[in-house]
Structure 1
Amino acid sequence: MNAILKSALAITAAALAIHASAQVTFYEHDNFDGRAFTAQDDVANFKRFGFNDRASSVVVAGGPWEVCDDADFRGRCIVLRPGNYPSLRAMNMNDRLSSARPVGRDRRYDEGRYAPQPMPAQVTFYEHEGFQGRAFATESDVANFRQFGFNNLASSVVVLGERWEACEHANFTGLCVILRPGRYPNLSSMGLNDRLSSVRAVHPTARFHDGRYAPQPVPAYDWRRRPEERLHEANVSSVHAVFAAPQQHCWVEREQVVQDARREPNVGGAVIGGVLGGILGHQIGGGKGRDIATVGGVVAGAAIGANVGRNGQTTSTQDVQRCASTPAQGRPEYWDVTYHFRGIEHHVQTTSPPGPTVTVNEAGEPRL
């Protein structure tokens, strides 16, 4: 009898240990924001916590959890492995969960019951603005960028998965900012261009004052392949290079004001006319033709300017600002790519021109 009792107590203790080590926290919004509640035991109905059909992101610790879209563990159920799930949209469970329970270590499910393996947080630093130049990526804390040859060199950043804390000195000291997931084309706006020396991942449950955050980033799509994800090649149908918006170029010109005067050659007019004529000629020409057009512009401008004031009038000058739009130069900002997969048209923006195909998953989402 004592042996049976001891065995039963051992089994009970093991079950309690499993439940104690397994913990799940549900959040009201994506990226672990909003209200939250934490559970270590079965929750047959989220209404007890005022959380029915409200969960949008999840943190699972210790062991896997089964979550279901109906109360009492019914309806569609999936198993979440330990990890951080910034959004439940990819598994079509956003704002739909109604019950959850920890999974025993001896419980086995078909692989199709498991949610996609959560992706680790990743941050990639680039040497130049606009995600250009050398780069290095990390999924773990870096106490000193010197080991990567990147100390005080980062000028733009892409953050995937979760938040990171980036600091200007080694060992996470000095000025530090919290980077949300997204694309930061330059670090100048936060006073950290070419100044970063360390970075570390931020725990999903950590909370900071708004002043600790960097400016809101441009959304970034996570292209990384998920574990055991089946991939396909989709044909690209069109590619358009997109340049930055035209910039406004302004300059100051000397404007002539006519006044009465004796009829004689205008030396000052000849000088001004020559300069303006030279500028116009230079804009028109190119190569050797540019030099020729410049000289011709000077001669013609000087002739016109010299005749100003020979009709009984004189001229004075004043500064006038002129502005004109100039087309963007250099490399495109991005490429707008259209591709078709299983009869559906998709669009994606890339930082380099694509090949004839785009790698996609079963849903047609692009993957690296």
Structure 2
Amino acid sequence: MKRLLAAAAVLATLSHAAVAGDLTLFSDSNFHGNRVTIDRDAPNLADFGFNDRASSAVVTSGRWLLCEHANFGGRCAEFGPGEYRQLPGFNDAVSSARQVDRDDRGGRGRWRDHDRDHDRDHDRDGPRGGDRGGPDVVMFAGPRFEGQQVELSQDVRALNDVGFNDRATSIIIREGRWEFCEHADFRGECVVLGPGRYDMLDRMNNRISSMRRVR
């Protein structure tokens, strides 16, 4: 009987480990300074005394969404397992964090689109007005929606296939949340963006090589 209970305890621990992720944030680059380890959703890092303090991170397990505002609002980026010596574009600008692959395999996390209603107001100014039959995503080679463009509504494992590898400088997203990655097959650094108009892509400028819808 004791052996059965011990085995059950081990299975419960393994099951929890398979579900829960682990994220450590550091106040300085290169994993220096104060740190905080998170293993559950953190809607407000001020509760941990770590609001707008993160400059580097280590993701031990899971995929985590780091957002610039509390309650997962504002601009967000997704980070998979690995070491991030710096957080370009998010240095001292992370206010909330949540695991996005805990309840949905394939990286499609369950989170509320806090900016969706606001961004859809801007959506009507997209390349095809209010036509909901238009493309989900329009990528532009120039900033502020200028230059050559490509219209997409499905996952693209290699943007080289559509002649737009490492060319996107601005994006309009009409529908859904999309993950944009620096390498083909959704590898390397990635960022998740929801509906809206992004006139500059900051650190992902001219670096996007693949994209897929995550919600």
- Where on the TM-score scale, by shorter chain, does this alignment land: which range? 0.3 to 0.5
- Higher RCO structure (Cα 8 Å, ≥6 apart): 2
TM-score (norm 2): 0.44
TM-score (norm 1): 0.27
Question: For the pair shown, which has the larger CA radius of gyration, 1 or 2?
Answer: 1
